[in-house]
Amino acid sequence: MQVLSKRLVGMFLALCACSCLALANEQGGTVAPPGDVDYSQLPPDPKTLEVELGTFKLDAAAAMKTAVEATGGKVMSLRIVKSKDKVDYEILCFQNGLPVRVLIDAKTGEMRIPKLDAIAAVVAASEKVPGKVGNVDSDLLADPPTWKVSVFAGGKSHLVSVNAVDGTIVSDQVAAQLPGDATDAPMQGEFGGVQWIVLQEGTGATPKGTDSMVKVNYSGYLVDGKKFDSSIERGKPIEFRLDRVIKGWTQGVQPMKIGEKRKLIIPWSLAYGEQGRPPVIPPKATLVFDVELVDADMAPPAPKTPMPTATPTATPTATPTAIPTATPVGGATPPPNGGG
Judge if 47 and 139 occupy the same domain. Answer: no
What is d(CA 68, CA 72) in angstroms, rounded to the nearest whole number?
Answer: 5
Domain around 206: 195-301
91, 112, 133 - which closes a domain? 112
Q: How confident is residue 290, by pLDDT bands cut at 50, 70 and 90?
A: very high
| pLDDT confidence tier of residue 82, bands split at 50, 70 and 90 | confident
How many Å apart are CA 133 and CA 139, to the nearest integer? 18
Residue 89 sits at φ, ψ, to 5 deg, of -85, 125
Q: Identify the weakest region by mean pLDDT among 170-174, 180-184, 187-191.
A: 180-184
For residue 240, tell me if it sits in a domain.
Answer: yes
The answer as to whether 316 is a domain residue is: no
pLDDT at 21: 39
* Residue 131 · residue 153 · CB < 8 Å: yes
Q: In what order do the strands lie in the sheet with 74-82?
A: 74-82, 87-95, 98-105, 111-112
Based on the fold, state whether residues 201 and 297 are members of the same structural domain: yes
| Residue scoring higher pLDDT (251 or 3) | 251
Same domain, 102 and 123: no
Domain of 255, CATH number, reads 3.10.50.40
Q: What is the CATH number of the domain that holds 42?
A: 3.10.450.40
Looking at residue 331, its pLDDT comes to: 44
- Residue 195 class from Cβ within 10 Å (0-12 exposed, 13-18 middle, 19+ buried)? buried
Q: Are residues 101 and 141 in the same domain?
A: no
Residue 304 has pLDDT above 80, yes or no: no
**pTM (two decimals):** 0.51
Q: What is residue 131's DSSP assignment?
A: S
Q: Which residues are catalytic?
A: 218, 228-229, 246, 272, 289
Q: Answer for the pair 169, 162: CB distance below 8 angstroms, yes or no.
A: yes
pLDDT in tens, 108-151: 889 988 888 899 999 999 999 999 999 999 888 787 889 999 99
Q: Are residues 19 and 107 in the same domain?
A: yes
Q: Structural domain tally of the chain? A: 3
Query: In the chain, what is the greatest distance between 2 CA atoms, to the nearest angstrom?
Result: 83
Residue 268, pLDDT above cutoff 80: yes
